[in-house]
Amino acid sequence: MTDASPATKSFLRALKGETVTPPPVWLMRQAGRYLPEYRAVRATVKGFLDLCYSPEKATEVTLQPLRRYGFDAAILFSDILVVPDALGQAVSFREGEGPSLKPIRSSKDLDALTLEGFQDRLQPVFQTVERLHRDIPSTTALIGFAGAPWTVATYMVEGSGSKDFVQTKIMAYGRPDLFQRLIDLLVQATGDYLITQIDHGAEAIQLFDSWAGVLPEDAFARWVIEPTRRLVERIKSERPGIPVIGFPRGAGALYQPYVDRTGIDGVSLDTGIPLDWAVGSLQSKVTLQGNLDPVMVVAGGPALDAAVDRILEVCTKGPFIFNLGHGILPNTPPENVARLIDRVRSRR
């Protein structure tokens, strides 16, 4: 990377609170199955994690969407589940079924996890960050990421994806001492992991809390806000100047205390968040990011244009980053992504 000063990167300027026109744009899951060139690389490895642990291939798939669309930010290609994997809870992805892990249900299960060798097992990811730092265009910002402790814990306790999170909630409500130990381990591990991503070239961090929206408010405060606040505090004290974006997907009205109490610099809005409310209640405190419905990009055409225009209309009077409200869908036509980008970039 030719070292253009970070200040020239529109994505980082927006996160510092600047109103940038046209707004910077990137899309969650911008690398992935909707791109034929991703599917070609994916076909050269057996398991999905083999792709995450190959610096050369992970770098290549991170760069693919940049070549097509010139996004203002690149997100490291990896997965939130490399953290449990590196803690010793082996993760596998079965074709079409999502992730699978041996569930954690007791203190004995928890004792089997260890921070020893944790960072060593993640070396390939750090090497990917280093390559990206070197290879991405000088105006593109590099985002590192991790799952937030609550969301990663749901996969660790359920042992797979879930619709109701009953096992995780039973542990959190019924054995808070045990669940706190798991969350504390994740705060430590995730903090180490993110600091090291920053040391290898990540210029901003996004915390994915995809299942933040399933908790009642007291549990949300303890298991979503508090661990996130601790992580942000550590990053701010150990690596000052690195902005953090939080994504408490589905949190509804709890977006407000999340923004007020976690210390994040930017908040990613899910598709259900009313924009007028977010602009009125959140944008004076943090940079907004979001929140186009990913299905709009599948639908395309005039409906897509109108949805993009409405977001730009409401959000661009303050600090804003254009994005989706959740990850891009595998059946998205790549030409619709180009249409979206052109529309955002033509904003004056």
Contact positions toward ligand CP3, by CB under 6 A? 28-33, 42, 48, 75, 77, 79-81, 93, 98-99, 145, 161, 208, 210, 327
The minimum distance between CB 338 and ligand CP3, in angstroms, equals 17
> Considering beta carbons, is residue 75 or 141 the nearer one to ligand CP3?
75
Kindly name the residue from 42, 339, 345, 347 that is annotated as catalytic. Answer: 42
| 42 classed as catalytic | yes
> Considering beta carbons, is residue 96 or 302 the nearer one to ligand CP3?
96
> Considering beta carbons, is residue 243 or 283 the nearer one to ligand CP3?
243
| 33 classed as catalytic | yes
The token pair that represents 198 in the structure block:
């920053």
| 234 classed as catalytic | no
| Residue 312 three-state SS | helix
> Considering beta carbons, is residue 125 or 312 the nearer one to ligand CP3?
125
| 345 classed as catalytic | no
Distances (CA, A) of 300 to 78, 296, 337: 28, 6, 9
Kindly name the residue from 72, 79, 209, 265 that is annotated as catalytic. Answer: 79
Beta-bridged to residue 25, according to DSSP, are 322
Kindly name the residue from 13, 29, 230, 343 that is annotated as catalytic. Answer: 29
| Residue 324 three-state SS | strand
The minimum distance between CB 220 and ligand CP3, in angstroms, equals 17
Which residues are CB-neighbours of 266 under 8 A, at least 6 positions away? 14, 15, 243, 244, 245, 246, 286, 287, 288, 289, 319, 321
Q: Is the dihedral of CA 321, 232, 83, 139 positive or negative?
A: positive
| 261 classed as catalytic | no
The minimum distance between CB 235 and ligand CP3, in angstroms, equals 17
Kindly name the residue from 34, 53, 155, 258 that is annotated as catalytic. Answer: 155
Which residues are CB-neighbours of 19 under 8 A, at least 6 positions away? 316, 317, 318, 319, 320
Q: CA 167, 171, 172: angle at the middle one, nearest 5?
A: 115
Catalytic residue numbers read 29, 33, 42, 79, 155
